[in-house]
Amino acid sequence: MKIYLLSSGTLVLDHSHIYWNMGPGQEVRFPVYSVLIDHPEGLFLFDTGYDLEHVNRVLPFEKPEQESNETIPEQLKLAGYSPDDVTVLVNSHLHFDHVGGNRHLRKARVVLHRRELNQGQNCEPFERLGYSDQQWNHDAANFETIEGDQEIARGLQLFETPGHTIGHYSLLVSPENSKPMLFIFDAAYTPLSLEKEINSSFHIDPVAGVRSIRRVKEMAREHDADLFFSHDLDSFKTYRLAPNYYEV
Ligand code: 5PN
Ligand code: ZN
Ligand code: ZN
């Protein structure tokens, strides 16, 4: 298996959005990226970053910085693939910073939680900014909704971590001969979020969110897994980025 991290650039949020109800703070710049897994059963992409044009139009206050090679087609090319090579696209959830490149993947089955698809099409008023990029919802999209914890291919386990969104999934990769890797997406933005069990301000159910943070911690302990944070710049700087990859 080869695991590539595909960069989508960075965004800015106020500290008080990253750490809900912890008081005011400074602006924080954080990374956005996707995970590509070349697996014997197919080419799997988990999330697709943000669309620069969408963010500039709808959320310019997040100050997007994205290089021209930080789009999904360019990042796939960097890793040696084309968008049509992707057989399965999994969306951890449907926030704009996780679906921005979905429309490029015309051949892929799109796997996501049943409740997330429903919510993405009919969200609460307070979730509208999060679900503001609807480009994933095009006519050619071949959605395959799932529920519960699911092993979608050998060693690739999606497990439910709701709270941030109603149908949020995290990913445990269990290679045969190396340490498991745990991608928690937006269940906890940073190591501090995990340690102190702090949700981001963007959530549908903060109590479920705390339970999911505890679940992620327990999974990491149980499997002795390496944790990958979606939105933490310090952690991100230690990760291997495409065209480099983790061979597991
Ligand atoms: C990065 C970011 N900015 C705004 C929102 C939002 O309103 O819901 C989720 C989210 C984000 O991940
Ligand atoms: Zn999110
Ligand atoms: Zn996010």
pLDDT digits (tens, 9 = 90+) for 112-137: 999 999 999 999 999 999 999 999 99
What is the average pLDDT across 186-199? 98
Mutate which of 129, 165, 193 for ligand 1? The one with the most ligand atoms within 8 Å of its CB, which is: 129
* pLDDT value at residue 48: 99
Q: Tell me: the pLDDT tens digits for 15-57?
A: 999 999 999 999 999 999 999 999 999 999 999 999 999 999 9
* pLDDT value at residue 26: 97
CB of residue 130 inside a 6 A radius of ligand 1: yes
Q: How far apart are the first and last CA of the chain?
A: 5
Q: Tell me: the pLDDT tens digits for 204-248?
A: 999 999 999 999 999 999 999 999 999 999 999 999 999 999 999
Ligand 1 closest atom vs CA 30: 1
CB of residue 248 inside a 6 A radius of ligand 1: no
- Helix or strand (DSSP H, E) at 92: none
Q: Which of 51, 97, 186, 232 is catalytic?
A: 97
Cα–Cα distance for residue pair 119/132, rounded to 1 Å: 12
Q: Does residue 243 have a cis bond before it (omega within 30 degrees)?
A: yes
Cα-to-centroid distance, 42 and ligand 2 (Å): 26
Contact (Cβ atoms closer than 8 angstroms) between residue 152 and residue 90? yes
* pLDDT value at residue 21: 97
What is the average pLDDT across 92-109? 98
φ, ψ for residue 11, nearest 5 deg: -135, 170
